[in-house]
Amino acid sequence: VLRESVDTRTVVAFTPTGQAVEDWDDMIVVQIFEDSRKPSGADLFATTTGAYEGACSTVRGGAYQEGDSNGYPAGFWVLGCNENPASGDGETAFFRVIEGQQATYLLQRTWRTAPWPADGQPEIPEAARREAMAALASFIVCDPGQGQRHPCPDTNAPLSPLGGR
């Protein structure tokens, strides 16, 4: 686990047992942007897309999909890098952003893969993709003080296999 805070941004990165933040095959990263000028989901989409375009031979991805999550503006997007010349690896990430009242929260599920053809697909098992989508969909921001508008989950409910309630 890596945790760092810089100014008004906190980053926490998680890797499975046996992997390190410096040498990973799959990772979950949570970023929290707390500031009156916190970025919007569209801002973060543009920033991450620009970072991939600057680092990758070919970038594939979908459009920014806007929606709502527990009464807050939310978004989702996917980016794929067929080969990062600096690492020699391919990379694919699913992103979910929620624009809360006091912060913007970005959850990222990323896989490193073997490089893949620019017109191809990364080798990520379908079950892993489905699990990642379910985990991202279960990520919410709630506000106990505004239970009607942004209700929090029942903390006494049993956990699901994906960690959600």
Average pLDDT per block of 10 residues along the chain, 165 residues long: 82 90 89 91 96 93 94 96 92 96 95 91 91 92 83 69 46
Q: Supply 135's token pair.
A: 């985990």
- Compute the distance between CA of residue 165 and CA of residue 159 in angstroms, rounded to an integer: 5
Instruction: Supply the pLDDT for residue 51.
Output: 95
Instruction: Supply the pLDDT for residue 165.
Output: 43
Instruction: Supply the pLDDT for residue 35.
Output: 81
The residues, ordered by sequence, that sit 6+ positions from 11 with a Cβ below 8 Å of its Cβ are 2, 3, 4, 5, 29, 30, 31
Instruction: Supply the pLDDT for residue 20.
Output: 84
* Cα–Cα distances in angstroms (integers) from residue 13 to residues 26, 49, 68, in the given order: 10, 20, 25
- Compute the distance between CA of residue 136 and CA of residue 95 in angstroms, rounded to an integer: 8
Instruction: Supply the pLDDT for residue 124.
Output: 92
Instruction: Supply the pLDDT for residue 164.
Output: 47
pTM: predicted TM-score of the whole model, two decimal places:
0.87
Instruction: Supply the pLDDT for residue 33.
Output: 95
